[in-house]
Chain A
Amino acid sequence: MKAIVTLALTSYREMIRERVVLVIAALALFLVFLSLLLGQFTFDESERLLADLGWAATELGAVAVALFSGSFLLARELDRQTCLLILSKPVSRTQFLIGKWAGTFLLLLSLVLVMSLTMAALLGRFSAPLWIIAASILCKSLILLSWALFASTLVRPTLALLSGVCLYLLGHWLGDLTYFAEKSADPAAVEIMRAARWLVPNFDLFNWKDHFHLVNPPSSRDIIGMCLQGAAWVVIWLAAAGAVFRRKDLV
């Protein structure tokens, strides 16, 4: 456990200092400010616009960081032989993987926190939906991070990244696609969509950005459901990544 914490904190520190991450964060923050500026011209809608753009920017930033760091994490460790150094210490491959995952988790957590707090400050609204939306974005990005990590144990990092983008899009279209499949009444299409539900996380469950404008927050049952779903996907893909990584030759 101590090894995992040490690894997580170290890799968090490493990533924070990396310029790419800072650039993504700066870009996302810039988008928030831009939306504020735009908001000046559309008086009554300004708050809505800011919130929409701001959340979109937060999600984009978090998803980008998750997919990039997930896909390239192991390849870079192997490239620099850092993973050999760590694994020559009393650290198992599973601990190594979890530690690295946790480090990226901390990074995503800080990113989402900074963005959400900036938005809340700009809007002057620290309400419950703010935290729920932030949590849902974090959940989504953690699922994608775990997927990218798993994919990168099987294929090249760029391919893993691409597969992550596909998963992200598919996860959002799942509802629509199911709807079309049912509409077409083609049994094969319905079956395919039913199977897809087991392979692709339904990101509509994690999409609560509109709640920011609504008075009623989502029910706590939905929130818990979302967290459980997210955790399940993370555990499944992290376990799969571990299973492959344990068998790999680290050349």
Chain B
Amino acid sequence: MNLVEVSGLDKTFKGGLFEKSRQVLFDVRFALPAGETCGFVGGNGQGKTTTIKCLFGFIRPDRGEIRFFGRPLGPREKKRIGYMPERPYLYEFLTGREFLRLHWSLVGASGDFPAACESILRRVDLSHAVDKRLRSYSKGMLQRIGLAQALIHSPDLLILDEPMSGLDPDGRLLVKEILREEKARGATIFFSSHLLQDMDELCTHLTVIEAGRILHDGAVASFRNEHPDLEKAFRAWRLKHRGGLP
């Protein structure tokens, strides 16, 4: 079964008075199979964030259909999704605990908040900063509390925009560890990155976007083919399909 199905997304950003309109998504289509860790790869400015924002309806696509759990996105579906935006800056005057409580009550999660809070903070290694204001958090800490917010209600589907950017090596390891745990719990994960190494270690499914078009959507193995790693596979793929560019 596919948890997410996207078909035929087009998006053109309307230009202002002096700018040209610009189409950034062209017939984007992909499907995320349940229970898998799905990577969303593409270089800078290829349309990853725009696609993810379309999924949630933050950006209205001009055309196309998006289904979560077989239905259009509504409150019921939203409760089952955890999301972390690119560069989360968050409410800087709240403490970590207040921030998590806000999201806990907005998803209408039932259960014991203090316990959930403790456990998630331990997992993202922020227990020491729980009562500090987010204003005093470092970039990596913000990234981690952003992740905590996405995980606290044990969602079935995780959508993370560049969860590892801006983290030091330890932080990256931690995030990878968490993603593995989430997968083991049974969650479906969709995360974007422009680094193929991350994908190689974690993903079973790969969606590749370039210049707003989906180049590949399927199992990692089929993309990798006989190549030793994704990096090489990607390069070979490019040579074949676009005739160049290193």
**Chain A residues proximal to chain B, CB less than 8 Å:** 2-3, 6-7, 10, 13-14, 17-18, 79-82, 84-91, 247, 249-251
Establish whether residues B106 and A251, one from each chain, have CB atoms under 8 Å apart when the complex forms. Answer: no
Which residues on the B side are within 8 Å of A91 (C-beta)? 106
Minimum CB–CB distance from A250 to chain B (whole Å) comes to 4
Minimum CB–CB distance from B175 to chain A (whole Å) comes to 18
Which residues on the A side are within 8 Å of B149 (C-beta)? 85
Establish whether residues B103 and A85, one from each chain, have CB atoms under 8 Å apart when the complex forms. Answer: yes
Complex Cα gap A18–B78 (Å) = 31
Establish whether residues A250 and B106, one from each chain, have CB atoms under 8 Å apart when the complex forms. Answer: no
**Which residue in B59, B86, B90, B106 is a CB contact (below 8 Å) of A89?**
B106
Establish whether residues B56 and A2, one from each chain, have CB atoms under 8 Å apart when the complex forms. Answer: no
How many A-B Cβ pairs are below 8 Å?
Answer: 78
Establish whether residues B86 and A81, one from each chain, have CB atoms under 8 Å apart when the complex forms. Answer: yes
Which residues on the B side are within 8 Å of A251 (C-beta)? 13, 53, 58-59
Establish whether residues B107 and A90, one from each chain, have CB atoms under 8 Å apart when the complex forms. Answer: yes
Minimum CB–CB distance from A16 to chain B (whole Å) comes to 8
Minimum CB–CB distance from B62 to chain A (whole Å) comes to 11
**Residue of A at shortest CB range from B89?**
A80
Complex Cα gap A18–B83 (Å) = 27
**Chain B residues proximal to chain A, CB less than 8 Å:** 13, 53, 56, 58-60, 75-76, 78-79, 81, 83, 85-94, 98, 102-103, 105-108, 133, 146, 149
Minimum CB–CB distance from A187 to chain B (whole Å) comes to 36
**Which residue in A10, A13, A84 is a CB contact (below 8 Å) of B56?**
A84
**Residue of B at shortest CB range from A89?**
B106
Which residues on the B side are within 8 Å of A249 (C-beta)? 13, 58-60
Complex Cα gap A17–B133 (Å) = 10
**Residue of B at shortest CB range from A92?**
B75
Minimum CB–CB distance from A221 to chain B (whole Å) comes to 42
A/B interface sample: 7 pairs, CB < 8 A:
A6-B102, A7-B106, A14-B94, A18-B93, A82-B91, A87-B56, A89-B103
Establish whether residues A88 and B102, one from each chain, have CB atoms under 8 Å apart when the complex forms. Answer: no
Which residues on the A side are within 8 Å of B88 (C-beta)? 81, 85
Establish whether residues B53 and A250, one from each chain, have CB atoms under 8 Å apart when the complex forms. Answer: yes
Complex Cα gap A217–B91 (Å) = 44
Minimum CB–CB distance from A109 to chain B (whole Å) comes to 19
Establish whether residues B90 and A82, one from each chain, have CB atoms under 8 Å apart when the complex forms. Answer: yes
Which residues on the A side are within 8 Å of B133 (C-beta)? 17
Which residues on the A side are within 8 Å of B102 (C-beta)? 6, 10
Minimum CB–CB distance from B81 to chain A (whole Å) comes to 7
Which residues on the A side are within 8 Å of B83 (C-beta)? 84-85, 88
Minimum CB–CB distance from A125 to chain B (whole Å) comes to 36
Which residues on the B side are within 8 Å of A80 (C-beta)? 89-92
Complex Cα gap A10–B98 (Å) = 8
Given A14-B93, A251-B53, also A84-B85 (CB < 8 A): yes
**Residue of A at shortest CB range from B74?**
A90
